[in-house]
Amino acid sequence: MLLTDSHLRQMQSLRISVTDRCNLRCFYCIPREDIEWLPRNHLLDFDEIERLARLFVSAGIRKIRLTGGEPLLRRDLPHLVERLGKISGLEDLALTTNGTQLVALAEPLAKAGLKRVNISLDSLRSETFFQMTRRDLHQQVLDGIVAAESAGLLPIRLNVVLIRGLNEVEMLDFARFARARAYQVRFIEFMPLEHGERWGKDVLVPGHEVRAKIDAVFPLVPEADPDPHSPSRNWVFRDGAPGQIGFIDSVTQPFCSACNRIRLTADGKLRTCLFSLQEHDLLAQMRKGASDEELLDFMQRVVLTKEKKHGISDGLYVKPKRTMSAIGG
């Protein structure tokens, strides 16, 4: 049985959030300081995560990405990585992190079987980084990037959310950084998930604007043989310099028609889209004693409800109740 939705999209990618906790306070992800974190006994434990991951892989999932919150705050995470890495049929195991814990954990994660990491870095300037994250941990992130590279977690991908009036002036700096270090820099459009008052067309920096400004200085050409299911449209430098520039234009150029991703929150809720209004409680099913067959049937019925699109650009969008840190980035 393959997990296929009513629009005939087959699910092959699963994002598993292992915690809602984070040590940064990026306003587009965690809008307030007074956050009430999930009680620990409400979280999926490692046995439950492994069981569900095996079932998802048996139903056609080929890629798993661990997320949070900040996933490296989850105790003994390399042990979970080792367990997931042994699942037969899983082709790719990756992780998205803010990088602050990578100096200590990059090597243990690589030895446990992690393939690669995406590291969130919204600014190359410490002052701007503090404005956006409300934490003075910029150097820890930079050191973490070096640690990940040394541990062989390649290619290094850096996720950058550009916001007008804050860090959009750094787009060329990031392009130079990519060229100098052979990194993959991916610009992600600011999405309306922050539950604050900042999001709007006046602060959204569309991907086509970033692409044009970088291309004017460092001419770009599309990558060869792009993955049709990847949310990122990637470009390389025409002059042959190392590095890559990617654009995840979730708002202005939605890629919903090719979406093959589903999400599992830290408290065991299955979500069919980042922007879903509905969540489906897998953890409750498991803890009530559901068999593997019953869980697989539940997963399939949920996937059939996957939304055709998020509706941001056509006025149909309704903001989810949970913010990004609780959904899983």
Nearest partner of 22 among 122, 82, 98, 78, judged by Cα: 98
What pLDDT is recorded for position 289? 98
Which residues of the chain are under the pLDDT cut of 50? 195
Q: pLDDT value at position 69?
A: 93
pLDDT at 251: 85
Sequential DSSP letters for 257-280: GG--EEEE-TTSEEESSTT-S--E
pTM over the 0.85 mark: yes
- Are 55 and 292 within 8 A, CB to CB? yes
Beta bridge partners of 262: 14
Which tokens go with 260?
């093959």
pLDDT at 193: 59
The answer to whether the CB of 293 falls within 8 A of the CB of 58 is no
Which pLDDT belongs to residue 200?
Answer: 57
Written as six digits, the tokens of 18 are 């292992």
Structural domains in the chain, CATH included, are 13-327 (3.20.20.70)
pLDDT of residue 299: 98
pLDDT of residue 196: 54
Q: Which of 71, 23, 22, 63 is nearest to 44 (CA)?
A: 71
* CA distance linking residue 141 with residue 257, whole number of Å: 34
End-to-end CA gap in the chain: 27
Contacts of 50 (CB under 8 A, 6+ apart): 80, 83, 84, 87
Beta bridge partners, 185, equal 158, 245
Is residue 262 within 8 A of residue 14, CB to CB? The reply is yes
Give dist(CA 146, CA 263) in Å, integer: 29
Backbone angles phi, psi at 237, to 5 degrees: -85, 130
- The reported pLDDT for the residue numbered 322 is 76
